[in-house]
Amino acid sequence: MKFLVLFAAVLLFAAFQAEAQIYGPYDGYGDYGDYGYYDPYGPYGPPPDYGEPVPQRQPRTERRGTIVIATRKHTLVYTTPQGEQLAYPIAVGRQGKRWYGTTHVTSKRKYPEWRPTASMRQKNPRLPMVVRPGPSNPLGTRAIYLADGLLRIHGTNDPSSIGTNASSGCFRMYREDVEELYEMVRPGTRVIVRR
């Protein structure tokens, strides 16, 4: 028991005698030449040649000559046969009117007629059987028809809808964008529609 009391007294004495070493701030980092000092908490990262490079994840690229539609981003990206990627803002289908998957372009038409489907006319009996080409045509000046025949990539008579979920399933584009895309794509062009 005396040994334990003596041991505790020695430890307590040693603890009171020990002094912590406290270092003040060091301002001499510039003493190392042009390299400078890398502060990991500062606003600048390490020098370009510092350590091993971190591999960056490459964006997924599609086969050349493919249209990819990202509905959440309201974007259509066409990868040309030469590998150039062109991105266009679009309007997509409203909730419950969206389709996802892979299809292809079947045909194209300049100044298309719009024929509302039977279900559209049932919901809105005031819709005409056919809307001829012109400023009131919802398909605009160009239409690119997809494999099922009902879905299209087309222009619009309502440019304010671009960037929204506004259509009955088709993909709307600004007039100048759809006219440019129309000239580039051919029947058979692969179309991928993603969420």
Residue 23 has pLDDT above 70, yes or no: no
Superfamily of domain 56-193 in CATH is L,D-transpeptidase catalytic domain-like (2.40.440.10)
The predicted model gives 7-13 an average pLDDT of 67
- Active-site residues: which are they? 154, 170
- Residue 162 banded pLDDT, cuts 50, 70, 90: very high
CB 193 within 8 A of CB 103: yes
- Sequence-separated (6 or more) residues with CB below 8 Å from residue 79: 61, 62, 63, 64, 65, 66, 68, 85
So where are the chain's domains? 56-193
Residue 50: the pLDDT is 46
CB 138 within 8 A of CB 155: no
Distance separating alpha carbons of residues 77 and 71, to the nearest angstrom? 11
CB 71 within 8 A of CB 163: no
Distance between start and end Cα atoms, the chain: 76
Q: What is the pLDDT of residues 110-156, one digit of tens each?
A: 999 999 888 889 989 999 999 999 999 999 999 999 987 778 999 99
Q: What is the pLDDT of residues 24-60, one digit of tens each?
A: 554 444 444 444 444 444 454 444 544 455 554 445 5
